[in-house]
Amino acid sequence: MISVTVLARIVVASVCAACLAGAADAQEAPAPQSQVTVGYLSIEGDPRHQPIRASERLILRPREHPFVGAQVAIEEAQALSRVLRIDFALERIAVKSADMLASALMQAHETRGIRFFVVDAPAEAFRALAGAVQGRDVLLFNATAPDDWLRRELCVREIVHTLPSLAMTMDGLVQHLVSRKWRDILVLEGPAAADAAMVRAFEGSVKKFGARIVGKREFKPGTDPREREKNNPLLLTALNRDYDVIFVADDAFDFARQVPYRTIRARPVVGAIDLEPVAWHWTWERHGGPQLNSRFQRAAGGRRMESLDWAAWIAVKMVVQAALRTGSADFKAQRAFILGGNGFDGYKGLAVSVRPWDQQLRQAVFLATPNAVVASVPVEGFLHRVSTLDTLGDDEQETPCKLHR
């Protein structure tokens, strides 16, 4: 028979063992998962993502929202989620008009705590967005508006531009032309405001790298025979002075598609067709490009990855990588890392990083035909005191935007 003293000792020992086991379990219990949510802000029926058609049956260029690019980056992040104990999520926020973007963003920020937003909107929409977020703990990624004035005049600390600016793409194109010794250029400009902006950026690049515009003609799309001097490529390209290359600015694309092989001289065509400067191309075969293209194509149901898709993808990837490399889901730590000049792998060879003066993502630009990447720029030999990538677009002394001061 067990004595009362022995029984008491057994009970005490059991209680202590249970306490120790409970303490051990408490120590080993995992901390709750943190969460980082990225909002994807877009406009329903955005005309920039409607197919370009020559007629109802003839689609010249299919165009899509780049939401799938952001999705691919979130899917890639899931492998890190368990290690970091951070859940990564993507929330799509679609509004009916540009006027509703700012209020939708602020509602998502204030009610659901979202601080990072990929913004898929035209340039003009950023005026209201900039006013709404200025001074707040949020960071917007402009993934679809290349307009130079966003980087120069608007100049807001809460906006990072992941899509190359017009200045960057035109600098890359002109670098290539100059490296090939195609310095004399005929410019054909369309009637749209986007065409004029493209020509202004191209003229700036021509001046910057020592090329020459030997002729500039405005075209008028259509087949009206009374306007043949403005809609016939043969007549438009008939100059007394010779030239090395023809640059076409045509956002609508309908005229540009008729220019190659219909010029008075046998000259290459660049700009809106044939050789285009792009942020990404589906044929890029280096630095992880094939794997990224394959992942995107599976997620998009066969659609090929394009520039806007890449810009949305890298925006989300930067958020994920900031969490990985800081080991934190804290917004201020992540923002400081993203804006701190740190490099991110954009699968283009040279690491991408945010310029401190205008928060444009410095990056390589591809020069591509429909079925091949011809070159990656900056071209070797174009030098810069800090980074060769800063030969593309606005360098620190060339822009009125000075966010780092």
List, for residues 286-339, the tens digit of each pLDDT value.
999 999 999 999 999 999 999 999 999 999 999 999 999 999 999 999 999 999
Does one domain contain both 232 and 254? yes
Are residues 190 and 114 part of one domain?
A: no
Query: Domain check: are 139 and 111 in the same one?
Result: yes
One domain for residues 225 and 326? no
Using CA atoms, how far apart are residues 131 and 178, in angstroms rounded to an integer? Answer: 41
> Looking at the predicted structure, is the pLDDT value of residue 2 above 50?
no
Is there a domain that residue 378 lies in?
Answer: no
The yes-or-no verdict on residue 5 having pLDDT over 60 is: no
Quote the pLDDT of residue 83. Answer: 85
pLDDT value at residue 66: 97
Residues 187 and 69 in one domain: no
pLDDT given for residue 4 in this prediction:
41
- Which amino acid does the sequence have at 126? F
Q: Is 169 a residue whose pLDDT tops 80?
A: yes
Domain termination residue (choose one: 250, 278, 306):
278
259 belongs to a structural domain: yes
| pLDDT for residue 22 | 47
- 247 and 333 within one domain: no
Same domain, 173 and 144: no
Structural domain contains residue 402: no
pLDDT of residue 10: 42
Average pLDDT of the residues of the chain: 91
The answer on pLDDT for 163 being more than 90 is yes
User: What residues make up the domain containing 130?
Assistant: 34-164+280-363
What the block records as the tokens of 20 is: 């120790």
Which token pair is 105? 């963003």
Strands of 184-189's sheet, edge to edge?
212-218, 184-189, 245-249, 269-271
Confidence class for position 33, pLDDT limits 50, 70, 90: confident
Q: For residue 30, what pLDDT band results from cuts at 50, 70 and 90?
A: low
Show which of 278, 300, 334 is a domain's final residue: 278
Q: How many domains does the chain fold into? A: 2
CATH assignment of the domain containing 219 = 3.40.50.2300
